[in-house]
Amino acid sequence: MRCTARAAKLPTVRTYVQRARADQRERTALAIERAALRELGIRGYADLRLADVAQRAGVALRTLYLHAPTKEALVSAALGRRAVALARKVERWQPPEASAAAVLDDLVAYHERTYRSDRQVLEVLELLVDSGAPGGGALLRSLDRVRLQLIERAMAMLARRGALRVRPEHAAALAHALLAYPTWRAALTGPAKRRAPALIADALRSSLLA
């Protein structure tokens, strides 16, 4: 009876150990991901060194090699994971059941929140594109496609209500230009600073709404 009870506990213990190991691997992967993004932001892709990433992440270099054996693999994994999470976040937005002006305001506010919360990833992606590093352009384009789909969804809804003064595809094109990540960076760091989102929302309302 005692042996039977001990045997019954073994799967539970094994499951706990496996879960603990999985959690530790996930924490290590996140630490490496954050360290890689930080080092990319500081040094750029050309001067990125795996040893510096390992030191910043607080892991041994051999542990880093288990997660990413090359610089290309490290950057691809770190940015790919963040890009997928950001795309999922953007996809969840739905136009609110509100006035046309409120829909545009909410669209602008959502882009502002997304930009501020994920600015590090977006800036590193743009840095990679500028430096010609592999993978950066594809990830940035995939994020841009998701963002454009979100904008098109909002404009199609406003068009169905008869709230637009221009064709929905033209409205989406203008909103896409004003809500692009490079535009946000320039707006939030330029003369307008904190007033930039309100100014962009005003521009969209005055240009698009009937």
- What would the pLDDT profile of 115-147 be if each residue is shown by its tens digit? 877 776 677 677 666 666 666 677 777 778 888
Rounded to an integer, the average pLDDT of 68-90 is 79
Residues 82 and 64 in one domain: no
Angle at 110 between CA 91 and CA 159, to 5 degrees: 75
d(CA 203, CA 208): 8
- Asked if residues 207 and 119 have their Cβ atoms less than 8 Å apart, the reply is no
The verdict on 119 and 173 lying in the same domain is yes
**How many whole angstroms separate alpha carbon 87 and alpha carbon 84?**
5
> Are 93 and 131 in the same domain?
yes
Answer yes or no: do 115 and 11 share one domain. no
Q: Which of 16, 50, 69 is the last residue of a domain?
A: 69
List, for residues 19-49, the tens digit of each pLDDT value: 766 767 888 888 998 888 888 878 878 788 9
Q: Are 74 and 82 in contact (CB under 8 A)?
A: no
Q: Which domain holds residue 182?
A: 78-208
90 and 194, same structural domain? yes
Q: How many residues does the chain have?
A: 210
State the Cα–Cα distance between residues 88 and 82, nearest whole angstrom. 10
Is the pLDDT score of 1 beyond 50?
A: no
Task: Identify the residue with better confidence: 37 or 53.
Answer: 53
